Amino acid sequence: MNREGILYKVVLLGVLCAVCGILLAGVNAITEPIISEAAIANEKVNLEKIYPGATFAAIDFEDESGMITGAYSAEGKGMIYKIHAVGYNSDGFDFLLAFNEDGTVGGFQVLEENETAGFGKRCFEDEYVSQINALTSSDTAPLLSGATLTSTGIQKGFDAAKALFEAR
Amino acid sequence: MSESNTKKRGFWSEMIYNNPVFGLYLGICSTLAITTTLNNAIGMGVAVIVVLTISNIVISLIAPLTPDEIHIPVYIVVIATLVTVVGMIMHAFTPELYSTLGTFIDLIVVNCIILGRAEAYACSHNVGESARDGLMMGLSYTFSLLAMSLIRQILGSGVLELSNPMTNQVLFSLRLIPAGFEIPVFTTQTGAFLTFAMLAAGVAAIKNSDEKKAAAAAKAKADAAKAAAKAATASAAKAKEAA
Amino acid sequence: MQVLFAILIAGALLGLNVWLYIANKKTPVPEGCESLKPDCSGCGITDCAIRRKEEE
Amino acid sequence: MNLLTLFLSALLINNVILSKFIGMCPFLGVSTKLSSAVGMGLAVIFVVFGASVLSWALYYYALVPLGLEYMKLICFILLIAAFVQFVEMFIKKTSPSLYKSLGIYLPLITTNCAVLYVALDNITQGYTLVETMVNSIAVPAGFMLVLLIFATIRERLATADVPEAWKGNPIAFVVAAIMAIAFSAFAGLV
């Protein structure tokens, strides 16, 4: 075939692209599951507290509020959202909120917080947690007097997660 | 650097003379950025060795098939594919390392060394030579990374530490400088620039003194030759006289 | 199927690249710019393509 | 994120050269003369901006919908190379005077890590189109700023009495180290 001909170049470039494309797709198919597995591994311990023994998968989401930092599906059980909210402490706090398949709250789990004991911290104690656990995806999280900033953060996070859950 | 020159020199002096980082000033970006710990240096070094060797082999294989005017885009595709593959494998099996090295793995693509070598060497040599050259360049690059990271880690944190990138298990950890006496500036950007400057000056000093020695040796040789020639003519003249 | 798209996109970009590269080479350098030279003397990068070209 | 904050932090605090070490090769190469520093800086700003916006569009409108995120490296580098060729050709045809000042730096830019770095960074940070545009101007502007400061220092340095082994690049790195200290003072700005 003519080296300088246009056909030769097109064939050469086509073969090159095909080889590279197939190679990449192949490697991607092998590594992708390992990568997504590893991405959940850190969260898995916390997710297990809400839905013990479930199979989890990280899912893509589009969040307008900017508060949701992760979304995970628990197969056959529900959805878990990781939320970062800001309360009294400007570093904010992280918590997990789960909705069961039927729309009721499946769990509320605080991950990292530095709120003030006796005030903001009350949002992570049994009384408030049981109030949250009794809600569904059509409710609004209640405010807690004396811990207004913290519970407002939770309320906003709840709304953001609710919107994602309803939109899925 | 001509072929015969590099062959005459030993492994170590080739590392210094042809050192891509301190001698030729190539691939400086990643050298400065990731050499905060020994682990990063080894991870990056291995990635570069793999990409450089394989890309040199592949390019020397396809160079005869490639018309001149399309060779640069072809090289870019080959190298980018290899880097993506290496990146994906690192992401899967050494996630911690991948997250610290970050974009610098991707930036191997534009790392001047690789493009430079593909154009300068691999396209005009056979597979074996290209592979050896790639390996050599990769090794001396890794060697530079190791030198930088050793200095920065020991002076900056006082601890020499190496861990298994797959499991994050610490393999060994040795405190060389007592706590409170470290020089933390070496872990910062400033430290990177300073360490680099010192090593580059060191390499330049070795080169300079070698050049001087070579010049002196050449001069001595020339003088000796001159003297010998003089002696020869003198003796010839004497012989003539005697005759 | 996905692989096919991957190949198509890569192929399209590569084709674009080659086409622009050749077209750029064919475009004549404007008058007065035929012998532009960078100042390589101050640069320590001795293995650079432009420098090699200049030294030839 | 506030766009001004983004701009300032990309320009000064996270300066590409002094804090991320990206684009060191041209930094050492062309920073010996003020005029070349200006030419290189302008060329980099132009190419980074164009290439980043194109890469952003390619990523979000072609690669993500098709699930081909793993192709981004190949696509971006090809796009950058093509864009550089295009710009060079365009300038050749339309403005010889511009070509005279920028032409020599354009081929160098394909292998300038800063271009690929900005394109990739916009994706990893999850920037929107507007944020991408701001970031793609701020980063190369920071590059140019340091290049200019450095060129003026180096012009003075040429007449200084530097030990033999430290001449050229080693002393340039020492200067860079001192500049990095100066720039670290910007950290409290935002």
Count of pairs with CB atoms under 8 A, one residue in A, one in B? 42
B12-42 pLDDT, tens digit each:
776 777 777 887 777 788 888 888 889 999 9
| pLDDT tier at A12, thresholds 50, 70, 90 | confident
Phi-psi region at B2: left, alpha or beta (left = phi > 0; alpha = psi -120 to 50):
beta
pLDDT one-digit tens code per residue, B71-89: 888 888 898 999 999 999 9
Q: Which residue of C has its CA nearest to A10?
A: C15
Number of domains in chain A: 1
Judge: C43–D89 Cβ closer than 8 Å, yes or no. no
Of A4, A8, A24, the CB nearest to B81: A24
Look up the domain containing D90 and give its range.
Answer: 3-7+15-188
Task: Provide the greatest CA pair distance for chain A.
Answer: 83
Q: Which of A60, A58, A51 is nearest to A78 (CA)?
A: A51
pLDDT of residue D30: 63
Alpha-carbon gap, residue B43 to B49, rounded angstroms: 10
| Whether the predicted pLDDT of B134 surpasses 90 | no
Partners of residue C18 in chain A, C-beta under 8 Å: 9, 13
The minimum CA-CA distance between C47 and chain D, rounded to whole Å, is: 11
pLDDT in tens, A28-78: 999 888 888 777 777 777 888 888 877 888 887 777 777 888 888 888 888
- Do C33 and D105 make contact, defined as CB atoms within 8 angstroms? no
From D28, D111, D120, residue closest to B106, measured CB to CB? D120
pLDDT of residue D157: 83
Dihedral sign, Cα of residue B82, residue B88, residue B92, residue B96? positive
- Predicted confidence (pLDDT) at residue A2 exceeds the cutoff of 70: no
Nearest of B145, B142, B164 to residue B153 by alpha carbon:
B145
CB < 8 Å & 24+ apart, contacts of D60-67:
D62/C9, D63/C9, D66/C2, D66/C5, D66/C6, D66/C9, D67/C2
Residue A84: helix, strand or coil by DSSP? Answer: strand
Domain count, chain B: 1
The reply to whether B226 falls in a domain is no
Establish if B12 touches chain C: CB-CB under 8 angstroms. no
Q: For chain B, say whether C47 makes contact (Cβ under 8 Å).
A: yes
Series of mean pLDDT values for 10-residue runs along chain D (190 residues): 85 87 74 74 90 94 89 91 89 82 74 86 90 94 90 83 85 90 83
What is the pLDDT, as a whole number, of residue C41?
Answer: 54
Q: Give domain status of residue B221, yes or no.
A: no
- Residues 6+ positions from B215 with CB-CB distance below 8 Å: none
Residues of D whose CB is below 8 A from C2: 66-68
Listing DSSP states for B41-66 in one string gives HHHHHHHHHHHHHHHHHHHHHHGGGS
Contact criterion met (CB below 8 Å) for D18 and D180:
yes
Share of chain A above pLDDT 90, in %: 4
B91: part of which helix (H) or strand (E)?
A: helix B71-93
Shortest alpha-carbon distance between residue D136 and chain A (Å): 23
pLDDT at residue B111 tops 80: no
What φ, ψ does residue A112 adopt, rounded to 5°?
-145, 125
Chain D's closest residue to B78, CA to CA, is D74
Tens of pLDDT, residue by residue over A84-135, are: 888 777 677 888 888 888 888 888 888 877 777 777 888 888 888 888 888 8
The rounded distance, in Å, linking the Cα atoms of B138 and B45 is: 7
Residue B160 domain flag: yes
CA B57 from centre of chain:
19
Chain A residues touching residue B74 (CB < 8 angstroms): 12-13, 16
| CA–CA min distance B114, chain A (Å) | 18
The domain spans of chain C are 2-55
Nearest to D19 among B26, B29, B189 (CB): B189
Q: Do D85 and C20 touch (CB under 8 A)?
A: yes
Supply the pTM of this predicted model. 0.79
DSSP letter (8 states) at residue D125: T
User: How far apart are alpha carbons A135 and D92 in whole angstroms?
Assistant: 67
pLDDT digit string (tens) for B140-192?
A: 889 999 999 999 999 998 888 888 877 777 888 888 888 888 888 898 889 99
From chain B, the residues in CB contact with A27 under 8 A are 84-85, 88-89
DSSP reduced 3-state for B172: strand
Task: State whether residue A71 is helix, strand or coil.
Answer: strand
Name the residue with higher pLDDT: B19 or B104.
B104
Distance CA C20, CA A30 (A): 35
Site of tokens 């981004």: D72
Quickly state the pLDDT bin for B7 (edges 50, 70, 90).
Answer: very low
Identify the CA nearest to B44 among candidates B152, B165, B131.
B165
**Structural domain range at position B116:** 3-205
Task: Specify the pLDDT at position A132.
Answer: 86
